[in-house]
Structure 1
Amino acid sequence: MTSQPEHGHRTGRGLDVLALACLILIACSLRPAASSLGPVLSEVQGAYSLADWQTGLLTALPGLIFAICGFIAVPVLKKVGLFGSLVMTCVLITVGVGARALVDSWVSFAGLTVIALAGMSIGNVILPVYVKTRFPDRANLGATAFTVSLGLGAMFPAFLTAPITGHFDNWRVGLGIWALVPACALITWIILKLARSVPDLDRPEQDTHEAAPPRRHIFTSAKARYMAMFFGLQSVNAYVQFGWLPQIYRDAGLDPVLAGLMLTVVTLGGIPGGFLAPQIIMRSILPRFFLVSFSISAVGGYLGLLLIPTTAPVLWAILLAYGGFAFPAALALITGRTQDVSITARTSAFVQSSGYVLAAIGPLAVGGLLGMSGGWSVPLGFMVGVAALMGVTGYLAAAPGTVDEELTSTGTRGGTAGTRGGTAGQK
C-alpha cells in the first residue's frame, strides 16, 4: 500500500526500502574519488613524474572543488530539481572516476578528477535535502544511513585499492573500479523516479500555517558560521588523511599495503561514527562533550605519528578514527540545527562550501610544509593545531538552538511558506 505525502512522491514499505537503498548508494559514491587515491599516490606520482606541488594539488583538489562547486549546488537544485541534481551527481562521478584511470596525461587525470569531485560536491549539498524531504518522519534513520554510507564509501576504497592494484599489478584498475558504485546509484535513482517516489520540491506544502523562513543570508547566523568552521577543520583532517596518511606511514617504514590498512582503520571509524554521531546530535546527548572528545583524540593521533609513528601505528590510526567521528557529527548538525527545508538547503550549501575552503588549504599547506621542511615534523605539528581548533569550534557549533531561530531573531519574515522556498529561497 502506498500513500502520497506533501511533496508529491509515492511511499510505501517497498518504495521506502528502495529510497533508502538509493540514498545509501549515492552516499557511498561521494568519497571513493578522494579516498582511493591515497593508497596509490606514489604510483600515480611516478606514472606522471609529478613534482611535490603537483602531488599536493591532487590531495587538495577535493576540498578546493567542494568549496567552489558547493556554492552552485542550490542554484542547480532550483534549476533542474532534485531528480536532475542527483542524476548529474551520479553521471559526473561515474565519468570522472572511470575515465581518469584511462588517460596518460597528468592534466587529463587532474581534469577528470575535478569532474568527479564536482559531482561529489553537488551530492554533498543536495543529499541532506533529500533526507529531510524523503524521510520527514524518520530523520534519525535517514541521517544515520547517510553518514554511515559516506563512511563506507571512504573505507572500502582505502582498504581495497592497494590490494586490487597489487592483484592486477595496475594502479589504473585499482582506481577505475570505483566507477561502478555511482553507476549502480544512477540506475537505482532512475528506477525510483519511474516508481514516482522522488520528492517534488516545487509542490507547495499542504500545511502553510507557519510563516516562511527569513531570507537573510545564512552568514548572519553565528551558529551557521561556527558550523562552517567546525566542518572545515574536520574536513582538513579528513582530506589530509585521505591524501597523505598512507605516505606518512610509508615514509616511517611501513610497507604500502600495511600503510593503506592504517588508512582503512581510520576510515573504518566512519561506520560506528555514522551510527553514533547523528544520535548524539539529534537526541542532544552531551553533544559539546563528545565533539571536544573527537578533537582531543585527533590531537593524540597526530602526536603519536609525530613522536613514535611505528611504535603503535594501529593506536594512532584508532585515535584518528575516533577523531573522524567529527564528520558525521558535522553533517548531523546541518539537519539537527535547522528546521525548515529552505534553511536546511541554504545552511548545507553555506556550511559545506565555506568549510571546504579550509579543507582545500589544508592538504596544500601540508604539501608545502613537507617540501620546505623535508620531513613530517612540521606538517604534523600543523595538524595538531588544526585538530585542537576543531574542538573549540565544535563546542560553539553544538550549542543549543537552531539556525532558523537565530535568523528569525535578527531578520524579518517574508516570502511564501513551504518547501518551495527550500529550493527557491536562496537569495
Structure 2
Amino acid sequence: MTSQPEYGHRTGRGLDVLALVCLILIACSLRPAASSLGPVLSEVQGAYTLVEWQTGLLTALPGLIFAICGFIAVPVLKKIGLFSSLVMTCVLIAVGVGARVLVDNWVGFAGLTVVALAGMSIGNVILPVYVKTRFPDRASLGATAFTVSLGLGAMFPAFLTAPITGHFDNWRVGLGVWALVPACALVTWIILKLARSVPNLDQPAQDTHEADPPRRHIFTSSKARYMAMFFGLQSVNAYVQFGWLPQIYRDAGIDPVLAGLMLTVVTLGGIPGGFLAPQIIMRNILPRFFLVTFSVSAVCGYLGLLLVPTTVPVLWAILLGYGGFAFPAALALITGRTKDVSITARTSAFVQSSGYVLAAIGPLAVGGLLGLSGGWSVPLWFMICVAALMGVTGYLAATPGTVDDELETAGPRGGASGTCGGTAGLRGGMPGQK
C-alpha cells in the first residue's frame, strides 16, 4: 500500500526500502575519493613524481573543497531542487573518481579529485535534507543509516584498495573501482524518481511561519566558535589519517596491505561511533568527559606511532579509531546545542564551513613538516598537539547552554549574511518546522 505525504512523493513498504537503499548508497559515496587514496599514496607519488608539498596538497584537498562547497550547497539546492542536486552529487563523484585514474599528469589527477570532492561536499550538506523529508516519521532510522553509511564508505576503500591494487598489480584499478558506488547510487536515485518517491521541496506542507526576529551573527557566539574549532580539529585528525596513516606505517617497515588494514581499523570506529556518540551528546551522558576521552585516546595513538609504531600497530589504530568518535559527536553538538531550527541551520553552515578550512590546513602542514624534517617525528608531535587541542575545544563546546541563549544574551543585531543565513528559504520545506 502506498500513500502520498506532504511533499508529493509516494511511500509504501517497497518504496521505503528502495529509498533507504538509495540513502545508503549515496552516503557510502561521500568518502571513498578521500579514504581510498592513502593506501596507494606511495604508488601515486611514484607515478607522478610528486614532491612533498604536492602530496600534502592532495591530502589537504578534502578539507579545502568541503569548506568552499559548504558555502554553495544550500544555494544549489534552492536553485535546482533535491533530485537534481543529488544527481549532480553522484555524477561529480563518479566522473571524478573514475576519470582521475585515466590521466597521466598530476594536474589532471588533482583536478579530477577536486571534481569528486565537490560532489561529496555538496552531498554532505544536502543528503540530511533528504533524510528529513523522506523519512519524517523515522528520523532516527534515516539519521543512523546516514551516519553508519558514511563510516562504511570510509572503511571499505581503506581496507580493499591495497588488495585490489595488489591483485591487478595496478593502483589505477584499485582507485577507479570506487566509481561504481556513486554510479549504482545514481541508478537507484533515478529509479526512485521514476517511481515518484522523491520529495518535492517546491511543495511545502506549511509556510506560515512568522518572520524570524533579527539575530546576531553566529560568530558572536563563543559556543559556536568552540564548536567550529572542535569540528575543524577533529577533521584535521580524520583527513591526516586518511591521507598519511598508511604511509606512516609503511615508512616504519609495515607491509602495504597491513598498513591499509590499519587505516581500516581506524575508519571502522565510524560505525560504533555513529551509533554511540550522538546518544552521548543528545542524552547528555557526561558529554564533556567523553569528548576529553576521545582526545586522550588520539594523543596516545599518535604517541604510539611516534615511539613504537611496529610493536603493536593495531593498538595505535584502535586508539585513533576511538578518537574518531569525535566526528559524529561534533555533528550531534550542532543539534544538541541549538534550539531554534534557523539557528541550527546557521550554526551547521558556520561550524562545518569554517571547520573544514582548518581541516584543509592540517594535512598540508603535515606534508610540509615531513618535507622539512625528513621524518615523521615532527609531524606526529604536531598531531599530538592537534589532538590535545581537540579535547580542550570539545570540552568548551559541550558546556551547558545553547547557541540560541548566547545570541539572545548578546541582543539582536541585523541577521546573518552569507551561508550562515542563507537557509531561511528552505524552512518551509522542512517537516515539523513552523
8 Å contact from structure 1 (residues 205, 419) kept in 2:
no
Q: Is the 8 A contact 1:24 1:146 kept in 2?
A: yes
Change (3 A) 1:240 1:417: closer
Change (3 A) 1:268 1:7: same
| Partner residue, 2:257 | 257
1:426 is matched with 433
Give deviations 1:299-331, integer Å, cap 9, x for gaps: 110011111111111100000000011112122
CA contact (8 A) 1:100 1:113 kept: yes
Shift of 1:406: 4.2
* Uncovered stretches (5+) of structure 1, i.e. residues with no partner: none
Deviates more, 1:206-215 or 1:391-400: 206-215
Offset at residue 376 of structure 1 (A): 0.8
| Partner in structure 1 of residue 295 of structure 2 | 295
CA separation in 2, counterparts of 1:417 and 1:238?
30
| Shift, 1:212, TM fit | 4.0
Shift of 1:390: 0.8
- 1:100-130 CA-to-partner distances (Å, cap 9, x unmatched) read 0111111100100000001111111222232
Residue 217 of structure 1, CA deviation:
3.4
The change in CA–CA distance for 1:223 and 1:131 in structure 2 (over 3 A counts) is farther
For residue 423 of structure 2, give the secondary structure of its aligned residue in structure 1. Answer: helix
- TM-superposed CA distance for 1:84, in Å, is 1.8
Contact 2:75 2:422 in 1 (8 A): no
Contact map agreement 2:233 2:387 (CA 8 A) in 1: yes
Q: Is the 8 A contact 1:213 1:343 kept in 2?
A: no
Greater CA drift, 3-12 or 405-414: 405-414
Q: Which moved more, 1:311-320 or 1:122-131?
A: 122-131
CA contact (8 A) 1:33 1:117 kept: yes
Inter-partner Cα distance in structure 1 for 2:156 and 2:193: 28
Aligned counterparts of 1:375 and 1:416: Cα–Cα separation in 2: 45
After superposition, residues 15-414 of structure 1 pair within 5 angstroms as: 15-206=15-206, 208=208, 212=212, 216-339=216-339, 341-408=341-408, 410=410, 412=412
Is the CA contact (8 Å cut-off) linking 1:73 and 1:349 kept in structure 2? Answer: no
Alpha-carbon distance in structure 1 between the residues aligned to 2:190 and 2:50: 40
Pair 10,403 (structure 1): closer, same or farther in 2 beyond 3 Å: farther
RMSD: 3.2
Offset at 1:366?
0.6
Instruction: Map Cα deviations across residues 123-176 of structure 1 (whole Å, 9 max, x no partner).
Output: 112222322333333333222211111110000000000000000000000000
Moved more, 135-144 or 27-36: 135-144
**Deviation (angstroms), 1:76:** 1.1
1:385-407: per-residue Cα shift (whole Å, max 9, x none)?
Answer: 10011111112222344444544
- Single out whichever of 268-277 and 34-43 deviates more from structure 2: 268-277
Shift of 1:30: 0.7
Q: 1:356 to 1:426 in 2, by over 3 A?
A: farther
Taking only the aligned residue pairs, the percentage that are identical comes to 90
- Aligned pair in 2 of structure 1 residues 299, 415: CA closer, same or farther (>3 Å)? closer
Q: Any conservation in 2 of the 1:59–1:244 contact (CA below 8 Å)?
A: yes
SS in 2 for 1:419: helix
For structure 2, the residue ranges without an aligned partner over 5 or more in a row are 425-431
Structure 2 distance, partners of 1:15, 1:286, is 39
CA contact (8 A) 1:205 1:418 kept: no
Residue 21 of structure 1: how far off its partner (Å): 1.7
Shift of 1:74: 1.4
The answer to whether the 8 Å contact 1:203/1:420 transfers is no
1:69 positional shift = 1.4
Q: CA deviation at 1:184?
A: 1.2
